[in-house]
Amino acid sequence: MGEVDPAFFQDPEHRPRIVFTEAEGIPLIDLSPILAFGDVSVVEGLVSEIRKACKEWGFFQVINHGVPLEKRQRIEAAARKFFAQSLEDKTKVRRNDKEVLGYYETEHTKNVRDWKEVFDFTIEEPTFIPASHEPDDKEVTGWINQWPEYPPETREACQEYAQEMVKLACKLMELVAQSLGLPADSFRDFFKDQTSFIRLNHYPTCPAPELALGVGRHKDGGALTILAQDDVGGLEVKRKIDGEWVRVKPTPNAYIINVGDIVQVWSNDEYESVEHRAIVNSERERFSIPFFFNPAHYTMVKPLEELTNEQNPAKYRAYSWGKFITNRKRSNFQKLNVENIQIYHFRI
């Protein structure tokens, strides 16, 4: 990250009000019953915990999740080495409108929102998505990863970790399905040609942390997010009962889970995708690694028939996930004259 003009923080437009509540954190759920039984269908108590967490918070943490610690440590170490390089070296794999994956840093301009630098890579290679956001355009293109030369272990570390994330996400989606009263495998087919990706985040120290955000308030557009954060912490969740921002205290080796917009639509608002943000500080840099579990590009997202009836009719009309994500990516590279696409645009 380059030098920042102090005047940037004096402009009222750049002053997000940083308020949070030190309170009882999001639910902490032990997944060891899954590992013990190997079958989520026999773990009724766990399903009840998942339902309560999804309903009341939209977020929860998991421990005893089965992800080998050494694989997490390996990708975390690679991320630290990569971001420690010079900007010139990192930008050798900079993303652009043709190569949408790779490195980028947020720019300190009038419209700045995030205070971080990022490296994105996709799970399936290539990952097929629509070539454009236009509804009638049937052409498909493939996202290809850009792998840095340094550190040399980056590609292998990332790919091994990604497979662990997919396994954990599949288990969690089975639990979510059962918590909605559905068969455990109800969501499985949506992810056969997944568009999932992983983001390595680096939040540098900030000279005025009370006036900036690492990531502005937002909701995740996909199905499920699995976040690994370091001991610095910084994630804040907007508590549903009162709208207060609650900081998520780091739990060693845990993962933070949140349901995204797609689950909100699939569940017909039974579960809600919740706003969250990340803060920065002036003393320590922060690293985090979110995994975004997303369905195939050809998925038409709509409320599941099993969860709708005359008394609870569908609250959303169907939309193309591929067109949705292509529209979102498009906004990364060109200024749009309209608001970025959101699920409430499809609300009936």
The one-letter amino acid at 52:
K
The one-letter amino acid at 93:
V
Classify the phi-psi angles of 163: left when phi > 0, otherwise alpha if psi is within -120 to 50, otherwise beta.
alpha
Alpha carbon distance 10, 283 (integer Å): 21
- Would you say 304 and 266 are in contact if contact means Cβ atoms under 8 Å apart? yes
Alpha carbon distance 101, 104 (integer Å): 9
Alpha carbon distance 131, 111 (integer Å): 28
**What's this model's pTM, rounded to 2 decimal places?**
0.90
Angle between helices 154-179 and 44-56 (to 10 degrees): 100
- Cis check: omega of the bond before 295, within 30 degrees of 0: no
List the beta strands (DSSP E) in 64-177.
102-105, 117-122, 127-130, 140-143
- Would you say 95 and 312 are in contact if contact means Cβ atoms under 8 Å apart? no
Q: Which two tokens stand for residue 275?
A: 């706003």
Of 321, 140, 132, 319, nearest to 222 by C-alpha is 321
pLDDT in tens, the chain (348 residues): 544 444 444 444 433 333 333 345 799 999 998 877 777 767 889 999 999 999 999 999 999 999 999 999 999 999 999 999 999 999 999 998 889 999 998 754 444 457 899 999 999 999 999 888 787 788 999 999 999 999 999 999 999 999 999 999 999 999 999 999 999 999 999 999 999 999 999 999 988 887 778 888 899 999 999 999 999 999 999 999 999 999 999 999 999 999 999 999 999 999 999 999 999 889 999 999 999 999 999 999 999 999 999 999 999 999 999 999 998 887 655 554 555 789 999 999
Domain 6-346: assigned CATH number = 2.60.120.330
What DSSP element (H or E) covers 237? strand 235-238
Give strand pairing partners of 253: none
Local structure of residue 294 (DSSP, 8 states): -
Domain definitions of the chain by residue range: 6-346
- The owner of tokens 């050798």 is 92
For residue 106, the SS3 value is: coil
For residue 247, the SS3 value is: strand
Three-class DSSP labels, 249-271: CCCCCCEEEEECHHHHHHCCCCC
Give strand pairing partners of 35: none
